[in-house]
Structure 1
Amino acid sequence: MTEAHGTATTASRPETAWPLENVLFSTALVAQRLPWADLPARALGLDALTREGLTRRLVAHLRGGRDGRPVRLRTPFGTFLVPLTRADAESLLTGADGAGALGTASGLAADGSRYALSPHAAPTGAWDVLTQDERDGLSARVSQHLVRVSGARREDGTLDRDHWQATMLRLSRHVVLGACAIDDTLLSELVTAADAGVGAAAGRTDEARAAAVRWRLAPYVADPEPGSLTARLAARGEGAPETYLSVAHALALVSTAVGTSALHALALLGAGAVASGPDTGASTGGAGAVTPADGAVELALDRYPPLPAVVYPVRAPLEAHGTAVGAGEDILYLPSLLGPRADGGRTDPAWSLCANPSGCAAARFAALVCREVVRGIAADVRPVLLAPRITGDRLPDTLDHRTLVLALAPSPGSGGTPDGSRAPSVADPSTAAPLSGYGARAHGGADRLERHAESLSACAADTGWNGSEAGERFRMVLLEHAERCSRAAADVRRAARWLAG
C-alpha cells in the first residue's frame, strides 16, 4: 500500500545498484537498438546468450539480491528507480498516482532522449462501454476502410506499410470524428506533432502545437457527427475545453492502436503465436466470445506496447512496499526488460497506450477499435509473416513494427480479401525458401526508390528553376538523380522477383 509522505514510517531508501550492475543494465538498454546483434545465438538455439536471455538473467539477479524491491540504476540516459516486476511497477505507480505524487510522464526513446506523450484526458464513467447497436455501428465504420487494405498489397501479396498507415489514419478519423474528417490528413499530422513530436519541456512550441490542434478540432466538436466518439464526448463535456483534450487524446490513441498494435497482432497471428481454434478465455466486456484475433491484440499490447519505456517523475515523497521514494526520483517502467506477466493476467490498455497509471477509457476504446480491425482482416484473409522469421514458441522481447513484412493470403475456403478481389499467391514461410522474406523487403525498397524518383521529377518541373543558368543546372542534376533512382528501382524490382521465387 502506498502512503502519503506525512506518515511516519521506517521504510528504507532504495538501494543503488553496483557499478557492474549499472553497466550491464545500461548495455541491456542500448542493446534494444540492435535487434540483429543476437541473430547467431538465436539461429543456434542458444537463447541464454541472446540479449533477451542475458537481460532476463540480469533482472533475476537484481530481484534475488534485493528482495524484489525497486533498485536505483545509473545509466547513460539518467538515473532511474526501476521496479523489478510488472506487478510491483504497476502497484507502485498506481499508488503514487493516487497520492498525487507523480509529475507528467514522458517516453524514453531508444537513443535515450525523452519525448512528450499524449496528455491523458477522458471524462469519468463507463462511456467507452458500447451497446450492441453501437458496436454494430463501429464495426460498419471499420469495415468501410478494411476494403482499402487490399490496395495496400504489392504484387506478391505483401502489405505496403505507408499505404497501411494512411488507411488506418483515415479509419481513426472516421471512428473518432466522423465521415467528414476522413480526408483531414492535416489533423492527424497536428495531433502527432503535438503529442509525441517534441520534447517533454518544449514550452511555447508545445503550447502552439496544442492550440493548433484545438483550432482544427473546433468544427468537429461544435457540430459532432451522430454516432462518432466525438459526439459522445461532447455530450458529456458540453463543449468544455476538456472536450478538445479528450477528443485529441482519443484520436492519438486510436491511431496508434490500429496503426501499430494491429500490425503486431497480425504478425502474431501469422507467426502462430495465438491458437487458431476456438478460444475459451474470458469475454471482452460483453463483446461475445473471444476470437484468436482478440487474443492476438491482447498479446500484442502486452508483449509489444507502443509505449515500451516510460519515465514517471516523482514530485512528492511517498512510501511503497517498505521503500521510501523521495521527490526528484525518476521511476522507469520498462515492460520489455521485465518480461511477460508472471500471473498471466490481462493488460490494462492504459499501460500500453496512455501511460496513465489509474486507467484510461480512451485507451480501452482504442483497444476495442484495434480488435475490430484485426477481426475484420482475419475473417477474410490469412496473415503470413515473412520477416522477421519468428515462431509462436520463441517470440522476441521487442518487435519493431517498421521491420515487419506481412502478406495477406486467402483463408481456407475463402476466395479473396475484404474488397472481394482475389489475394495474390503468397508462399507460406514454413515451406518458402529463406530468401522470400528478402524479396518482400526488396519490393519495399523499390517502391521507396520509385517514390523518390517521382518527387525529384516533380521538384525539377517547378517553374522556379526557370530564368537562370544556375537554375537550369540544378534542374538537370535533379532529373539525372531521378533517372538513377528509377533505374535502381527497376533493378531492385527484378531482384525482388527472383528472391521471391
Structure 2
Amino acid sequence: MTASGTTTTTRPATAWPLENALVSAALAARRVDWIDAPARALGLRPFTRQELTRQILGQVRRTASGRPTRLRTAFGTFLMPLNRDDAAGLVAAAEEAGARGAVTAFTDRGRRIHLTPHLPLPFTVGSLRGRVRKAADAEAHRLLAARQGDATLDRDAWHGAARRLARRTVLGAAAADDTLLSDILDATARAADDAELTDRRAALSRRLVPYLADVPADETEVVHALETVTRALNDTAAQALALVASGRDPQDAVAEALLRYPPLAATVHRVDAPFEWDGMAVDAGTEILCAASWLRDLEEADDADDADESYGDDDLGDDLGDDAAEAEDPEDSDDLVDDEDRDDFGALSGALCAAPGSCAAADLGVLAAGALVRALTRSAVPTVLAPRLDPGAPPAELPADTLRLALVNTGADTHVPDDSNLMRTPPAGQSPAHYAALAAASARRLEGHARRLAEFARQPGFNHDAFGERCRMTLLSHAERCARAAADTRRAADWLSN
C-alpha cells in the first residue's frame, strides 16, 4: 500500500535477452519434430525438445520468481504465466474485466491458427446424445469398411470421417456430406492476415446459411461448436485409439489423450483493454501466451523431483480428478459427459476450448470422440503400426497426423477386413497377380485424378461468391467419388494379390 492508501501495481518483468532467444528456439523447434530422434538414439534425453523446453522455462521461472514475465521472441512479444494456476487466473481476470480479445493457438507444428470466440451453447449436451451415438456408429461402420487389405486405416479416410461426424453432430444429417464447409472452416483458421480472415469468415457465413434454420443456435455458436468437435474427433479420437492399442481402457482413453496431448497445447489471448491481476498491470495490446502442455510438463517435473518418482498412470487418476479414479459404470459408458457430470469433466474443456471455465462445445467434442472410439473398439482391435509405442510409457508427444493405425477384426479373423460376400476363387483368364496389377494401376490413376480435382477446387478464386462456392462443391464432389472408387479398386487389388 502507498501512503495514499491505494494499491501499488507493477509492470510485468521482461526476460533476459538470452532467455528470450532460448524461448524463441523452443518455439521454432516445435516445427522440426525429427530432431528428437538423434537425441534419443544417442541416449541424450536432456537434448530432446521436451526436456530442453523444461529447462528453459525453469530458468525463466527462477529469474522471474515464478511471476508472469514478458518474453520478446522471434514469433512475437508475449506475457507468459509460468504455472497453470497463474495462466487460468490471468485469462479469467481478462475475461471478467471484458478485456480478453481475439484468441489464436499454436499447433503441434508451431503454426499459429485463429480460434472462433467461445460462446455457451443454448442447448444441453445431453439432448444430442442420441444423435451422437447413432452418427458415431454409422461412421465407425464406414471406417471399418474403408480399411485397406492389411486392415490399416488411411489418414485421409480418418480425416474425412472425423469431419463428416462433426458436421452431422453439430448441424444434422443435411450437412454430413458438405465437405466444402469443413474446407472453408480449416482455411479460415489458417488465414494469413486480417483481410484474408474477413473474406474467409464471410464465405463460411454464406456456407452455413442452409443449415442454421434447423439448429437452435446462432452462427458464432455453431462455428465454435463445429471447430471444437472437429478438433476432438480428428486429433483426440485417433490418439485415444493409440492409447487403447497400448493397453488403456476405451472408456478412459479420450480423457487420457486430452490430458497428455491437448489439441490446444498453447493459446495466445490478445488484451483489448488494460486490467489488473494480482498487483500486476496488464496493458492493452498485450498477448498472453498460455502454453498449457509446457506448464504441465514443468509442474510434473517438479512433482517428480519432490516425490522422487516419475509421472505414471497412478498420477493420471489424480489429474483427472475423482471422475477418473471413480470411472463410470461400463453400462453407462455412453454418458461420458452429462450435465450432472460437467464439474467432473470441466477440467478437460481447456484442452479443446481456450476460454476460462467449462465449455459445452468441448463437452460435446469429448462425447463425440468417446462415442467413436467405443463404436470402433466394439468391432475391432486398434493397433499402432507407426510410430512405435512403449505400452508402459506413452510418448511425450503424439501428433495425430503421424499415426498409422490398423483396426483388426475381433475373433479368429485375419488382418483382412470382413468381406464375406467375396468369392475366394480367382477370375478366369490371366493370373490373379495380373489383374491385381491392373487394378492397382487404376486405383493410382483415380487417386491422382481425385487429388488434382481437390487441389483445383481449393484455388482462392472460388472464395468470392456463392457461384464460386457451388463450382468448388461440384469439383470436390467429383473428387470424393474418385477417391471412393480408388479405395474400392485398391481393396479389389489387395484381395487379388492375396
Instruction: Say whether the fold is shared (TM-score over 0.5).
Output: yes
- Partner residue of 2:256 out of 299, 303, 321: 299
**Unpaired runs of 5+ in structure 1?**
1-6, 225-229, 238-242, 275-291, 423-445, 460-492
- Partner residue of 2:95 out of 94, 97, 103: 97
Is it true that 1:314 corresponds to 2:271 in the alignment?
A: yes
Percent of aligned positions that are identical: 41
Distance 1:330 1:160 in 2: 38
After superposition, give the CA deviation of every residue in 1:433-487 in whole Å (9 maximum; x if it has no partner).
xxxxxxxxxxxxx99965564459999xxxxxxxxxxxxxxxxxxxxxxxxxxxx
Structure-2 residue corresponding to 1:213: 204
After superposition, give the CA deviation of every residue in 1:62-91 in whole Å (9 maximum; x if it has no partner).
223333211211211111111112222122
Structure-2 residue corresponding to 1:166: 160
- Partner residue of 2:285 out of 322, 328, 333: 328
Distance 2:93 2:163 in 1: 35
After superposition, give the CA deviation of every residue in 1:367-420 in whole Å (9 maximum; x if it has no partner).
111111111112222211121123244434333211111111234x57599x96
Distance 2:451 2:156 in 1: 19
Distance 1:458 1:172 in 2: 24
For residue 194 of structure 2, give the secondary structure of its aligned residue in structure 1. coil
Is it true that 1:268 corresponds to 2:243 in the alignment?
A: yes
Q: CA deviation at 1:331?
A: 0.8
Distance 1:135 1:456 in 2: 35
Structure-1 residue corresponding to 2:147: 153
- Partner residue of 1:15 out of 13, 16, 39: 13
Structure-2 residue corresponding to 1:175: 169
Give the residue type in structure 2 aligned to 1:148: R
Structure-1 residue corresponding to 2:360: 361
Q: CA deviation at 1:193?
A: 2.6
Seen in structure 2, the aligned counterparts of structure 1 residues 61 and 421 have a Cα distance that, compared at 3 Å, is farther
Distance 1:313 1:180 in 2: 36
Q: CA deviation at 1:298?
A: 1.4
Give the residue type in structure 1 aligned to 2:264: L
TM-score (norm 2): 0.70
Alpha-carbon contact 1:318-1:326 (below 8 Å) kept? yes
After superposition, give the CA deviation of every residue in 1:289-342 in whole Å (9 maximum; x if it has no partner).
xxx224221122222222232211122222323433222221111223223465
Structure-1 residue corresponding to 2:433: none
- Partner residue of 2:231 out of 231, 256, 268: 256
Distance 2:103 2:70 in 1: 18
Alpha-carbon contact 1:56-1:339 (below 8 Å) kept? no
Structure-2 residue corresponding to 1:409: 408
Seen in structure 2, the aligned counterparts of structure 1 residues 190 and 81 have a Cα distance that, compared at 3 Å, is same
1:319-398 equivalence runs, <5 A:
319-340=276-297, 344-345=319-320, 348-398=347-397
Give the residue type in structure 1 aligned to 2:380: V
- Partner residue of 2:181 out of 181, 187, 192: 187
Distance 1:55 1:149 in 2: 38
Q: Which has the higher helix share?
A: 2
Distance 1:458 1:105 in 2: 33
Q: CA deviation at 1:189?
A: 2.1
For residue 408 of structure 1, give the secondary structure of its aligned residue in structure 2. strand
Seen in structure 2, the aligned counterparts of structure 1 residues 16 and 458 have a Cα distance that, compared at 3 Å, is closer
For residue 102 of structure 2, give the secondary structure of its aligned residue in structure 1. coil
Distance 1:355 1:169 in 2: 21
Seen in structure 2, the aligned counterparts of structure 1 residues 458 and 208 have a Cα distance that, compared at 3 Å, is closer
Alpha-carbon contact 2:120-2:361 (below 8 Å) kept? yes
1:236-255 equivalence runs, <5 A:
237=217, 243-255=218-230
For residue 148 of structure 2, give the secondary structure of its aligned residue in structure 1. coil
Is it true that 1:138 corresponds to 2:129 in the alignment?
A: no
Count how many residue pairs are aligned between Structure 1 and Structure 2: 391
Q: Cα RMSD over matched residues?
A: 3.3
TM-score (norm 1): 0.70
Distance 1:213 1:207 in 2: 10
Structure-2 residue corresponding to 1:121: 119
Seen in structure 2, the aligned counterparts of structure 1 residues 375 and 416 have a Cα distance that, compared at 3 Å, is farther
Give the residue type in structure 2 aligned to 1:189: D
Alpha-carbon contact 1:128-1:365 (below 8 Å) kept? no
Distance 1:448 1:119 in 2: 42
For residue 198 of structure 1, give the secondary structure of its aligned residue in structure 2. coil
Distance 1:162 1:410 in 2: 21
Seen in structure 2, the aligned counterparts of structure 1 residues 135 and 73 have a Cα distance that, compared at 3 Å, is same
Structure-2 residue corresponding to 1:78: 76
Distance 1:82 1:447 in 2: 54
Give the residue type in structure 2 aligned to 1:198: A
Distance 1:97 1:143 in 2: 39
Seen in structure 2, the aligned counterparts of structure 1 residues 219 and 40 have a Cα distance that, compared at 3 Å, is closer
After superposition, give the CA deviation of every residue in 1:138-197 in whole Å (9 maximum; x if it has no partner).
312210111011133222221101111112222222222222222222222233333x03
Distance 1:302 1:318 in 2: 30
Distance 1:374 1:393 in 2: 21
